[in-house]
Amino acid sequence: MDSLVLLLTKYGYFILFPLAAFEGPMVSLAVGFFVSLGYLKFLPAYVILLLGDLIPDTIYYYIGRFGSKRKIMEKYGSRLNLMEKLWLEHGKKTMFLSKLAYGLSTPFLISAGLVKMPLKRFVSYAFPVTVFQYAAIMAIGYYLGSSYQLAAKFIDYTGIIIAIVFVIFIAVYVFFVKYARRQIEKMEKEEL
């Protein structure tokens, strides 16, 4: 975080986009702090942060859409059906959880392209989550000021907790789907 502070004070807006593309939430916390000190203006910094998040998300989508599907299907074919169901039936919830879940965002965004979710829908789901996420984190950085290191740990822990809850949700969902299928097969056999 200290090196991030040095980069932002030295290069300002010029370094903001690549930093946001690499580690947006942590950068937005520091940007909120710098806005509170008057080093950066809110609106230009906020727009750059949004672009630094949405452009890589769209690239991940296109990697899934036009990448090597054969290799992915060989490795994750059975899970792709679950991903397709999540994106097509629960797209908004999936986007919300995947964007906020630390470490799961990239694979989920790629999977949206793999299941051929329309780009317009993908962006319409990603944009509001990104707007909310960065506004909230910048506000935390703005109001916490110099205690940004404490807030950075809180944001990391929150992302990890969201990721764990999301993985548990998927595991429970898969378990219940398999259980329901077994029960249906059992009832069909009993009828014969």
User: What is the per-residue pLDDT across 123-178, written as a single tens digit (0 to 9) for each?
Assistant: 999 999 999 999 999 998 888 765 655 656 666 676 677 778 777 877 887 787 78
Task: Enter the tokens of residue 19.
Answer: 């930093």
Task: Enter the tokens of residue 146.
Answer: 């110099």
At 62, the amino acid letter reads Y
pLDDT of the residue at 52: 93
* pLDDT tens-place string over residues 30-77: 889 888 888 889 999 999 999 999 999 999 999 988 877 666 666 666
Task: Enter the tokens of residue 174.
Answer: 């898969």
Whether residue 64 contacts residue 117, with contact meaning beta carbons closer than 8 Å, is answered with no
Whether residue 47 contacts residue 138, with contact meaning beta carbons closer than 8 Å, is answered with no
pLDDT of the residue at 42: 93
Location of structure tokens 């998300």: 57
At 139, the amino acid letter reads A
Location of structure tokens 């029960």: 183
Whether residue 72 contacts residue 111, with contact meaning beta carbons closer than 8 Å, is answered with no
Instruction: Tell me what percent of the residues of the chain surpass a pLDDT of 70.
Output: 81
Whether residue 44 contacts residue 65, with contact meaning beta carbons closer than 8 Å, is answered with no
Show Cβ contacts of residue 142 under 8 Å, excluding neighbours closer than 6 positions.
32, 33, 35, 36
Q: Which of 173, 182, 150 is nearest to 1 (CA)?
A: 150
Q: Domain-by-domain residue ranges, the chain?
A: 2-165
Residue 12, phi then psi, degrees to nearest 5: 60, -130
pLDDT of the residue at 191: 67
Task: Enter the tokens of residue 66.
Answer: 């036009």
